[in-house]
Chain A
Amino acid sequence: MSFIEVRQISKTFKLAKKKSGLKEAIKSFFKREYIYVEAVKDISFSIEKGEIVGYIGPNGAGKSTTIKILSGILNPDKGKCIIDKMVPWEDRKRFVKKIGVVFGQRSQLWWDIPTEDTFLLLKDIYDIPEEEYQKTKEDLVEKLNLKDIINIPVRQLSLGQRMRCEIAASLLHNPEILFLDEPTIGLDAVSKQLVRDFIKRLNKEKQTTIILTSHDTSDLETLAKRIILIGKGQVLYDGSLKKLKNKYETERIVSIKTKEKLEIRNKGIKSKKKNGEGYDIVIDTKVITISELLNIISKKIVIEDIEIDNESLDNIIVKIYKDYKI
């Protein structure tokens, strides 16, 4: 049995359907129509202790719903979920002591008071012994660079500063599992880097199991070795990021700057387009490698300059979403 075991979880939401306009509003007052949306259906996966798993999918795919179910704040309609021998929504109080949650779009810090006061509240909520609290707090303050901001009322913090405090607040009780729902949303490059480095270190030093959702592909690239791709409420891919990348990273665009005319017809060349100062050639790297292509071209014409477009994870994900029609 794995540390986190999810079996065929489903959740359907009932939404009131209402067309715009006064007439429709009056009509819906008497007779309301509902649509049922299956936010997640038959989701299964298992996660071992100490793993970092990236949970990705387009908006509305069911990521947050899954996180809510796993963290015990939402009841699924069907299915089983056992985390560290507990059912999150049944053993709620006992279970939530072991987990930390960061919802990037929400806040757990008290708006009017300094972060440290919220920390003290959390210390009592989680019954953290004084000694352990001091130790964990100092550690977090140092690693997340909070020293100068911990005594400022939260409303005066910048988003990046606040997010660092939010993460620290979720970790005061040394949880075994950390759920991060878009932790880097809206952060600048430096803050993102800091948050990522911190998460990585946390996982390494304390073996914290981390489940992360993000639309920022570089989050996933730096953090998650394994990703679970979800779309329309179903798991579409579960495996290493590398494998997924390899599968889709077969197309490369080679831009060639030249004044001459190029005639080329080889296997593996998918398209050739004239641009301002030369050509954009799309190749399938499974059939023809970049060096082979350059070899062929350089025999025919003089190349002034070349540019090879590295397929970004963003593009790959766009392709995956298209492929899976999600």
Chain B
Amino acid sequence: MKAYYTYFKLKFITGLQYRSAAIAGISTQFFFGFVYIMVFYAFYESGSGSLPMEISALSTYLWLNQSLFALINQFYRDPELFDLIKTGNISYEISRPKNLYLMWYFKLLGQRLSNVVLRFFPIIIITSLLPKPLNFTLPVSPQAFILFLVALSIGTLLVVSLSVLYPIIALLTMNEKGIVNIFAVVADLLSGVVIPIPFFPPILKMISRVLPFQYISDLSFRIYVGDISIQNGIYGIFIQLIWLFITITIGYSIMRHNIKRVVVQGG
């Protein structure tokens, strides 16, 4: 277990080196955050029908979305693992006395966490100072905050268990781009990163309900702003855990069955 933790730690430390990438990321997130909020604000101002969320709750939801974007988005791919596969350096990974799936899992987890810690705090601090109702606010209750932390942690594990499938696909097909791009777009859309799930039309809501993606971030954010009650939140976490178990099992077994078939090409 210690080795996997070390993988995580190293990736985490390495990621922290890239300050300029973090600053660029922060500005992008601010930009997107403002665009989103302005668009929604225009909706609210024009008073078009009944809207599923209060504007202040929505603002907090969107700022959480932006500040944690590096942690929860499906589109992020760690180039290192793909390089390993394409250059053949994976030879070394296979010649280690550890489980390849878990090595990759913890690498990705470390990478995502290091990406997010540098971006999270500046965004949260600055957006708390914005004028109401566009600012970032405190959670509805301490209980909701604790539940939010639990749901977010499991959501993080879930998103990593999905994104570790990308290099596994690359391992099988050599070129992951097509499949992964489609997958990432659909997953991002259905996870509520683009539009919060309460704003979905009924049919999309139904689809997203039977898929794992809304359990990545939407569940925890809505617990935070009080859009999902404590009771429903606990129920949601239960389903989250089931999805986590399923996705890890899928990745783990694909890897186990295929690692023997991997052919490292070239001299």
- Chain A residues close to B by CB (< 8 Å): 13, 59-60, 63-64, 68, 71-75, 89, 92-94, 96-97, 99, 101, 103, 105-108, 110, 112-113, 117, 120-121, 124-127, 182
Contact = CB atoms under 8 A, between A and B. Distances in A.
Contacts of B17: 112
A13 B263 contact: yes
Interface residues of B, number: 26
A108 B92 CA distance: 6
A134 to B, nearest CB: 17
B88 A110 contact: no
B249 interface: no
B89 interface: yes
Interface in B241-267: 260-264, 266-267
A121 B10 contact: yes
Interface of B: 2-3, 5-7, 10, 13-14, 17, 87-89, 91-92, 94-98, 260-264, 266-267
Contacts of B92: 101, 103, 106-108
B89 A113 contact: no
Most central of A63, A64, A89 by chain B CB within 10 Å: A64
A93 B6 CA distance: 18
Contacts of B7: 121
21 contacts: A13-B263, A59-B267, A63-B267, A64-B266, A72-B94, A73-B262, A74-B262, A75-B260, A94-B97, A96-B95, A97-B97, A99-B95, A103-B91, A105-B88, A106-B88, A112-B14, A121-B6, A124-B2, A125-B6, A125-B98, A127-B3
B263 A124 contact: no
A146 to B, nearest CB: 19
A93 B97 CA distance: 4
Given A97-B97, A127-B2, 8 more contacts: A63-B267, A72-B94, A75-B261, A103-B88, A110-B14, A112-B14, A112-B17, A117-B13
Given A75-B260, A105-B267, A125 B91 contact: no
Contacts of A92: 94, 97
Contacts of A75: 260-261
A73 B6 contact: no
Contacts of A110: 10, 14
Which 3 residue pairs are nearest across A and B when measured between Cβ atoms? A108-B92, A124-B3, A124-B6
Contacts of A71: 95
B107 to A, nearest CB: 11
Contacts of B6: 120-121, 124-125
B97 A126 contact: yes
Contact of A125 (B97, B264, B267): B97
A99 B91 CA distance: 13
Nearest to B17: A112
Contacts of B96: 96, 125
B80 to A, nearest CB: 8
A101 B93 CA distance: 11
B264 A113 contact: no
Most central of B87, B88, B89, B96 by chain A CB within 10 Å: B96
A93 B95 contact: no
Contacts of B5: 124
A72 B96 CA distance: 10
Nearest to A166: B92
Contacts of A59: 267
Contacts of A13: 263
Given A101-B92, A106-B92, A68 B10 contact: no
A73 B97 contact: no
